[in-house]
Amino acid sequence: MRICLVSDQYPPMGTGGIASYVHCLAHGLAAAGHDVSVIAGASHQRKAVGGHQSGSAQPAGEVSLTGVPNAKLWLPPSVRRKGLGIWQVFERSIAVDREIARKERSQGPFDVVEAPNWGSESLIYSFHRRAPLVVRLSTPLAQVDRLKGNLRPRPGMRLLCYLEALSVRRAACLIAHSEFIANACSQLYRISRTKFSVIPLGLPIPPSRPAQRVGEDEGVTVLYVGRLEKRKGIALLLHAIPEVVRCAPLSKFVIAGADSGDSPHLENYRDYFATFASPQARAATTFLGHVEESALCKLYAGCDLFVAPSLTESFGLIYLEAMAHAKPVVAFHSGAVPEVVSQGETGILAETGNVSDLASALIRLANDAQLRHEMGTRGFERAHSDFKTDRMVEKTVACYNSVVAGLS
């Protein structure tokens, strides 16, 4: 099957959940013998993973990667400034549509084209698609805007949300990472739930449990990975840290992720933390800033437990990454998190938004090495049985085949 995956964000230049799952999906599909092309953002030069040159059919197991700059619409500066990102949506989707057409002319038609809902990258292609369009759903823009506290979206944001919904509604099939996001998007986009296929994300999971971290007598390391922004619950975690350090004095916190600058005082979260944290809590907390994907494995391997108290998640790939490293998880009982993290089995899910409950969960695990080991082991077993790459690929190909057969 000839498959085109579209994602502006793609490793190594792009980071985040969408970049990670598209990369994993692309290589999983290629390893299964499919002909896979990825259209990424302008930061990627035209090339192919494994040395294949663009324009010819790549050998099985390789992924053709093409970096495409946005198209440039001629617009007066004043009009562009008032666009609030709308023009970029059109410019990106025009560039994607043109590159799909170029690949079709040089290499033959695709059997299926897949794109994320985020960024409306498939918008133009959806109006004159040649191959069936599949859209894989992450957290919708409207939901992200609400989590930022914007209860009444600005006109520009409403238009961006409309363009996202338009591209989704025009897809032949929708893939959701979880039941939660399928139900949420069905209501938001006003699309029948029957049009959705739920396919959990997957990762390459090692065959055996990773070795337990040594040197635990030096303290317990708690790792957070993710953007430092309101919807990821970072402010709530920071408020929990002083209580955790007081009750579990050997606890150390490592905060890995780029700072969005949307803290309650509109400053970076490190400075915000310093306004209320005790000296002991400040000394026990390290802010790493943005961390390259290649360094994340060492962070996961070097921690004793993982925390990410997101206010909502369409899936939560970070929890799966922690489970793949046999680490217990602390999170909020929100969004799709309970579909990934089993309460009391592979981690502890605190009441959403409750700082005291979050701190209690962290204290319990920080003070109980045996519980950490048991939950980490069960988490690894769950990741290995339910969330491997080949399961995601198998279900995705079955979905593609169903769409192609339905349109033939």
How large is the average pLDDT for residues 197-218? 80
- Please check whether residues 61 and 155 belong to one and the same domain: yes
Residue 108, burial from CB neighbour count under 10 angstroms (0-12, 13-18, 19+)? exposed
Amino acid at 252: K
The count of C-alpha atoms lying within 13 angstroms of the C-alpha of 79, restricted to the half-sphere facing its C-beta, is 6
| CA nearest neighbour of 255 among 315, 304, 308, 329 | 308
Cβ–Cβ under 8 Å, residues 25 and 396: yes
What DSSP string describes 155-215?
Answer: HHHHHHHHHHHHHHHT-SEEEESSHHHHHHHHHHHT--GGGEEE----B---SSPPPPPS-
Q: How many domains does the chain have?
A: 2
Say how far apart CA 342 and CA 378 lie, in whole Å.
9
- Please check whether residues 84 and 58 belong to one and the same domain: yes
Residue 216 has a pLDDT of 54
Say how far apart CA 177 and CA 320 lie, in whole Å.
13
Q: Give pTM, 2 decimals.
A: 0.87
pLDDT tens per residue, range 294-349: 789 999 999 999 999 999 999 999 999 999 999 999 999 999 999 999 999 999 99
- Please check whether residues 224 and 198 belong to one and the same domain: no
Say how far apart CA 253 and CA 239 lie, in whole Å.
12
Q: In this structure, what token pair is assigned to residue 63?
A: 């992924």
pLDDT tens per residue, range 108-139: 999 999 999 999 999 999 998 889 999 999 99
Say how far apart CA 10 and CA 7 lie, in whole Å.
6
Domain range spanning residue 284? Answer: 216-386
Q: Does 210 map to a domain? A: no
Of 212 and 104, the structure prediction assigns the larger pLDDT to 104
- Please check whether residues 99 and 184 belong to one and the same domain: yes
Residue 74 has a pLDDT of 83
How large is the average pLDDT for residues 87-104? 94
| CA nearest neighbour of 26 among 48, 53, 57 | 48
Cβ–Cβ under 8 Å, residues 200 and 392: yes
pLDDT tens per residue, range 154-188: 778 888 999 999 999 999 999 999 999 999 999 99
Residue 51 has a pLDDT of 33
| CA nearest neighbour of 330 among 219, 253, 227, 228 | 253
pLDDT at 47 exceeding the cut of 50: no
Q: Does 82 map to a domain? A: yes
- Please check whether residues 221 and 187 belong to one and the same domain: no
Residue 183 has a pLDDT of 95
Q: Confidence band (pLDDT; 50, 70, 90) for 207? A: confident
- Please check whether residues 141 and 242 belong to one and the same domain: no
Q: Does 93 map to a domain? A: yes
Per DSSP bridges, beta strands 305-307 and 285-289 are unpaired
- Please check whether residues 379 and 402 belong to one and the same domain: no
Q: Tell me the range of 50-59, 85-94, 247-256 where mean pLDDT is highest.
A: 247-256
- Please check whether residues 307 and 346 belong to one and the same domain: yes
CATH number at residue 359: 3.40.50.2000
Amino acid at 287: F
- Please check whether residues 197 and 275 belong to one and the same domain: no
- Please check whether residues 344 and 254 belong to one and the same domain: yes
Q: Say what the alpha-carbon torsion angle 89, 41, 28, 322 is, to the nearest 10 degrees.
A: -90
Residue 177 has a pLDDT of 95
Residue 84 has a pLDDT of 64
